Homo-oligomer: A and B are copies of this chain.
């Protein structure tokens, strides 16, 4: 009966190796020049079932991450963009658990996991960064769980816009004008809502003067108003964390005296 559908998670044949080489720009693995990989619009960086071997750090572009549950339904679990780390989900089983699909022409740094581990062993600073990378992923999950279970649709959509805005701000882009890369349906999936509900609420926010929305173009007009809708305050954002790779794709090597764990 449901046995066949249960395999959905692993059903996807491993075609990663092909797609990996197909669109890769391979550069020598020099400390100065990290390997990069380019992904075109609609292509997957990796898919559920692919063997895990490397992490990726987004250099440019926008993605969606899709988790498919055992019964076959697919859900959007995040919208990774520049500086975000991808691939952590594969560490548990040795195989990736979700699909990462590019919204536009994107480029990622390829960060072999063995290198990360070596780096963590050799370097106290590296170990700390690795640790925080994991921990951040965990708290991100907790935050989203809270959002999904304890809020209403209006709050979710408002929070979604504010979070997106904040992420753009942290990347040095405008926090008040940006384009959504995803469809209403994808937003809905991410927030646990139907696409119509998302659309209605965006229209509603516009009527109330909180935002201006034209298709995927968003202008944030009233931050305090939106925050009030959420019931939270701007300082509920988690602090920015140090990037795991610098702009050239190098692992920062820091000679630090402070060797203790969990320094704030």
Residues of A within 8 A of B (CB): 1-3, 5-7, 9-10, 14-18, 20-21, 46, 51-54, 67, 69-71, 73, 75, 77, 88-95, 97-98, 110, 112-114, 117, 120-121, 127, 131-132, 134-142, 144-146, 148-150, 189, 191-192, 227-228, 231-233, 235-236, 238-239, 241, 260-264
Contacts and interface: CB of A to CB of B under 8 A. Distances in A.
Nearest to A71: B231
B91 A233 contact: no
Contacts of A141: 138, 140-142, 144-145
| Copies per complex of this chain | 2
A203 to B, nearest CB: 22
| Residue of A2, A127, A232, A238 most packed against chain B (CB within 10 A) | A2
A90 B53 contact: no
Contacts of A239: 93
Given A1-B16, A6-B20, A90-B262, 17 more contacts: A1-B112, A6-B236, A9-B236, A14-B95, A15-B93, A18-B94, A67-B142, A71-B236, A75-B145, A91-B135, A92-B238, A113-B261, A113-B262, A134-B138, A138-B138, A141-B141, A148-B192
B6 A192 contact: no
Contacts of A135: 88-89, 91-92, 134
A94 B16 contact: yes
Contacts of A113: 261-263
A54 B1 contact: yes
| Residue of A69, A89, A137 most packed against chain B (CB within 10 A) | A69
A146 B68 CA distance: 9
A93 B16 CA distance: 8
B149 A232 contact: no
Contacts of A15: 93-94
A233 B150 CA distance: 27
8 contacts: A1-B16, A1-B17, A2-B112, A3-B20, A6-B233, A7-B17, A9-B236, A141-B142
Contact of A94 (B46, B89, B150, B263): B263
A138 B88 contact: yes
A6 to B, nearest CB: 4
Given A75-B150, A231-B71, A134 B6 contact: no
